[in-house]
Amino acid sequence: MLKGQATAEQTKAYADRMWAENPRISPDSWRIAQELTVGKVGLGTYRMGSDPEHKKAMEKALLSGINLIDTSTNYMGGKSEHLIGETLGALHKDKKLDREEVVLVSKAGYMQGKTLLKYRHTPPPETIQLDEHLWHCIHPDFLKEELENSLRRLDVECIDIYMLHNPEYFLQYAYNSVEDKDALDITVLKKLYYAHIEKAFTFLEQAAHEGKIQYYGVSSNTFGAAKDKIDHTDLAEVFKAAQNAAQKAWGRKKRPLFRAIELPYNLLELGVLKNINTEAQVINGTEEVSTLELATRMHLTVLTNRPLNAFPEGNAAYRLSAGYKPGSEPMDIERILPEIHALEESLATTIGGWPMIDEQPLFHFGQQGDDLIASLQNAIHFDFVKENFFTLHLSTLRSAVEEIKQEQHEKSAKLDDITTNYALFFNQLIVALREKFRAQDAEHLKPLEHIVRDRLKGDWKNAPMQQVALNAAASTPGVTSVLCGLRDPAYIQDVTTIYEQGDFADVATVIGSNS
């Protein structure tokens, strides 16, 4: 286990070392997060797990000026936290990096996969069941276990920032559960929402007192929502909950250790910047302001996510990246699917029928898979479905075949042959779908890219779109660090480039009114 936590002295020493190794880095590439020095781009690990390339990318990021890592208990079923722990441990052992130089952020609230299986029959208090595969809870009983799990997987004694992960699910669930929407008392519902958050914060204040975390915060997709939206999370109300929690936990009034928020922000999702949806205390009362303005006045660490995946309200999703390059020969999805279906039938015939789990045929991609493919909308949607359905489906099939081979040993060779061919065609399907939707999204992006490029000056005129989008978010006053999924070592070059070129001096012009 790595001892210690991120410190002001060591994170500053890290930045100084990065400057010494690359004098071209601009001084404005660093930010101060609660006295800790962090790069303006952080590493988001939503889709990083056991792939060796992911470890290489993380090592390169940490040795290139990216010293803030964001993860969550549910990212890749806990594999993201394992990856971080293994990588930090290896770099520390090789004396390339100290624990105190890195700011670790993790989150809790989701129940999925193995965690959901554990609690399915004995859920903690205040658990909400969003659907069959996704439950959510921020009750202290659940948070206590999740925090211990995170510490174990990360292999550290302290997490620098621990966050409630999308608590607004409670509001969405409550609203969707009521048939007569007009009869719903929104004031009572919101009061209960912030009471749940206060209870969670009280636990987190105590966890900080015990040295298991330094600070805590909230990651919410609805901080930037309009104030009249049912699931809007009001930063002013969250802070009141933190003040109450601090007094309960410490027995006296003191500044809460609530010091960070995380939220979506990019060239198209500007709500956190432009929506006047909360209130700030001023000398003669209150003033209506945006969430980002209030966070700035409160000296909060502001982490932004989805810099390249935009979901503007009422519009289709955008992938804000010019990274797509067409393949030499697009694969025919209509040719691949029948091969998958035929191999499934062959598997079922070989073992004497369909194995069942929860009354569902185990191998049957079939109609469910076809319907899912038909519902795909864009590359962002595809990436989500790939991680949460396609990859899981193939992994489950392989595991099940291994178990069946032990029972029907004489059929092992034939089952191996079928499974190998199945995996081959299934991976071809994944590649074909990715190519299809990336090409579609590249065309979709062209009009927006043209508008943005008209606003750029100098060398930025011809910069890749992902560099422009990343730097626009990072250059926005009040934003501490922009979290970006950097799963390939090659992606680190984009960050190095924007570190060297520095902030946009006229970021308001670049952002414009894209929404």
**H helices within 210-353, ranges in order?**
235-250, 271-274, 291-297, 333-351
Type of residue at 294: L
**Environment class of 457 (CB within 10 Å of its CB; exposed 0-12, middle 13-18, buried 19+):** exposed
Per-block mean pLDDT, blocks of 10 residues, the chain (515 long): 96 97 95 97 93 95 97 93 97 97 98 90 95 93 98 98 98 92 91 98 97 98 96 98 96 94 95 97 95 98 94 72 59 86 88 67 70 81 79 80 86 90 90 84 80 89 92 97 94 94 92 69
Whole-Å CA distances, 231 to 133, 198, 224, 279, 322: 21, 17, 10, 17, 33
Task: Say whether both 268 and 402 belong to one domain.
Answer: no
Task: Say whether both 351 and 219 belong to one domain.
Answer: no
pLDDT of res. 327 = 55
Write the CB contacts of 350 (distance below 8 Å, at least 6 apart in sequence): 411, 414, 415, 418
**Environment class of 446 (CB within 10 Å of its CB; exposed 0-12, middle 13-18, buried 19+):** exposed
Write the CB contacts of 59 (distance below 8 Å, at least 6 apart in sequence): 87, 90, 91
What is the pTM for the complete model shown?
A: 0.86
The tokens for 121 are 């029959």
Distance, in Å, from the CA atom of 376 to the CA atom of 363, rounded to the nearest integer, reads: 21
User: Which stretches does DSSP call E strand in 29-91?
Assistant: 30-33, 36-39, 41-44, 68-70
The residue out of 409, 442, 475 marking a domain boundary is 442
pLDDT of res. 146 = 98
Task: Say whether both 140 and 109 belong to one domain.
Answer: yes
pLDDT of res. 143 = 98
Percent helix / strand / coil, the chain, rounded to 5? 55, 15, 30
Query: Domain containing 405: what range?
Result: 333-442
- 88 closest CA partner among 40, 154, 41, 153: 154
Task: Say whether both 288 and 339 belong to one domain.
Answer: no
- Cβ proximity of 265 and 205 under 8 Å: no
Distance, in Å, from the CA atom of 487 to the CA atom of 481, rounded to the nearest integer, reads: 18
Task: Say whether both 347 and 212 belong to one domain.
Answer: no
Distance, in Å, from the CA atom of 176 to the CA atom of 136, rounded to the nearest integer, reads: 15
Q: Could you tell me if residue 505 is inside a domain?
A: no
- 343 closest CA partner among 369, 304, 375: 369
What CATH number corresponds to the domain at position 227? 3.20.20.100
The tokens for 76 are 């890749």
The residue out of 319, 342, 363 marking a domain boundary is 319
Task: Say whether both 306 and 168 belong to one domain.
Answer: yes
The residue out of 394, 409, 442 marking a domain boundary is 442
Count of the separate structural domains present in the chain? 2
* Secondary structure element (H or E) that encloses residue 108, with its range: strand 103-108
Q: Could you tell me if residue 512 is inside a domain?
A: no
Q: Could you tell me if residue 3 is inside a domain?
A: no
- Cβ proximity of 105 and 36 under 8 Å: no
Q: Could you tell me if residue 452 is inside a domain?
A: no
* Secondary structure element (H or E) that encloses residue 218, with its range: strand 213-219
Task: Say whether both 250 and 390 belong to one domain.
Answer: no
The position carrying tokens 């979709």 is 444
The tokens for 455 are 């606003």
Q: Could you tell me if residue 156 is inside a domain?
A: yes
pLDDT of res. 47 = 86
Task: Say whether both 197 and 51 belong to one domain.
Answer: yes
Q: Could you tell me if residue 412 is inside a domain?
A: yes
Task: Say whether both 315 and 338 belong to one domain.
Answer: no
Distance, in Å, from the CA atom of 262 to the CA atom of 103, rounded to the nearest integer, reads: 14
- Cβ proximity of 36 and 6 under 8 Å: yes
pLDDT of res. 314 = 56
- Cβ proximity of 439 and 327 under 8 Å: no
Q: Could you tell me if residue 476 is inside a domain?
A: no
The dihedral built from the CA positions of residue 342, 347, 348 and 349, taken in this order, carries a sign that is positive
The tokens for 292 are 């980002």
DSSP reduced 3-state for 61: helix
Task: Say whether both 228 and 372 belong to one domain.
Answer: no
DSSP reduced 3-state for 122: coil
Task: Say whether both 66 and 195 belong to one domain.
Answer: yes
Q: Could you tell me if residue 328 is inside a domain?
A: no
Task: Say whether both 75 and 176 belong to one domain.
Answer: yes
| b/e map 5-19, b = 16+ CB within 10 Å | bbbeebbbebbeebb
As a whole number of angstroms, the longest Cα–Cα distance in the chain is 83
Distance, in Å, from the CA atom of 61 to the CA atom of 473, rounded to the nearest integer, reads: 19
